[in-house]
Structure 1
Amino acid sequence: MPACFAVIFTSTRTEGDNGYAAAAQRMVELARDQPGFLGMESVRGADGIGITVSYWRSEAAILAWRDHPEHRAIQARGRSQWYSEFSTRVCRIEREYAFGH
Structure 2
Amino acid sequence: MSLIAKTPKPPYYAVIFTSQRTEDDHGYGPMAARMVELAAKQPGFLGIESAREDVGITVSYWSDLEAIKQWKANAEHQVAQKLGREQWYSSFKTRISKVERDYGI
Alignment TM class, shorter chain as reference? over 0.9
Partner of 2:52: 44
State the one-letter code of the partner of 2:74.
H
Percent of residue pairs identical: 56
2: CA distance, partners of 1:57 / 1:74: 22
SS at match of 1:77: helix
> Partners in 2 of 1:34 and 1:79 — Cα distance?
23
Q: Which runs of 4+ in 1 moved over 2 A?
A: none
- Total equivalences in the alignment: 97
TM-score w.r.t. length of structure 1: 0.93
| TM-score relative to the length of structure 2 | 0.90
- In the alignment, structure 2 segments of 5+ residues that lack a partner are 1-7
Does residue 1:62 correspond to 2:68, yes or no?
yes
1:10 to 15, 18, 37: 18
Q: Secondary structure at the match of 2:101?
A: coil
Taking the aligned partners of 2:73 and 2:91, their CA distance within structure 1 comes to 20
